[in-house]
Amino acid sequence: MTRGLFITLEGGDGSGKSTQAELLREWLTGEGRTVVRTREPGGTEVGVEIRELVLHHRGDISPRAEALLYAADRAHHVATLVRPALTRGEVVVQDRYLDSSVAYQGAGRVLDPGEVRRLSDWAAEGLLPDLTVLLDLDSAAARARLDVARTRYDRLEAEASAFHDRVRGAYLDLAAAEPDRFLVIDATRPVEEIAAAIRERVRGLL
Ligand code: TYD
């Protein structure tokens, strides 16, 4: 049984997840909650090594191998960090989770999204977030933001805009399928407005 609160942030590269996760962490801490701020891939020591491999390996990684690497990162992260924190009653605020796998490896790489979801469910022993914030941004706007922020792209960021369009479409489909779990926000809105919308939803869950 978990007692804490599990909040994930999803969205394309450059949609502002980290900024919002940080603002949420600050607010929750001010409300007296113990917050664990983490991310996938790379939320554990093992995960940091998987992250380096999956994002910066120079050669090809086959789509199924890529899906398994993200799932391996997730399995270890949930087992050793996320679930223990939830059991202690803490709030976990996390950049990316299984919806990223369904969107990027499922729709982006054109694996079967249902299979990718089942793989993640197995890896995470069925752990689902209480709330998933989707910061929705079209791929052209996301690319423009990344061009300002990055000197080099990782393997997924470097994919063509058709890939990122599929990812965005998959995210919106996921949100439509699970409206109770998702909060969809237009990522072009001002940062503080987005933060306030997230706080309002989270307040109802505390
Ligand atoms: P992230 O660290 O969030 O990068 P950014 O800050 O640029 O958004 O994620 C790294 C990349 O990994 C990102 O392009 C999305 C991808 N990813 C997947 O393809 N599948 C997954 O399951 C996860 C968690 C991430």
What pLDDT does residue 202 have? 98
Q: Write out pLDDT tens, residues 133-152.
A: 999 998 888 888 888 788 78
What is the residue with the minimal CA distance to atom 25 of ligand 1? Answer: 100
The rounded Å distance from CA 12 to ligand 1 centre is 8
Structure-block tokens of residue 48: 């940091």
Q: Are 88 and 4 contacting, i.e. CB atoms less than 8 angstroms apart?
A: yes
Alpha helices in 58-160 (DSSP H): 63-77, 83-87, 98-100, 113-123, 139-149
Atom of ligand 1 nearest to the CA of 156: 14
Q: Write out pLDDT tens, residues 34-58.
A: 999 999 999 999 999 999 999 999 9
A 10 A CB-CB count for 2 gives: 16
Q: Write out pLDDT tens, residues 54-109.
A: 999 999 999 999 999 999 999 999 999 999 999 999 999 999 999 999 999 999 98
The rounded Å distance from CA 96 to ligand 1 centre is 7
What pLDDT does residue 1 have? 54
**Topology classification of domain 5-203:** Rossmann fold (3.40.50)
Domain ranges of the chain: 5-203
Would the pTM of this model clear 0.85, i.e. be above it? Answer: yes
Tokens 């799932």, residue located: 71
What pLDDT does residue 169 have? 95
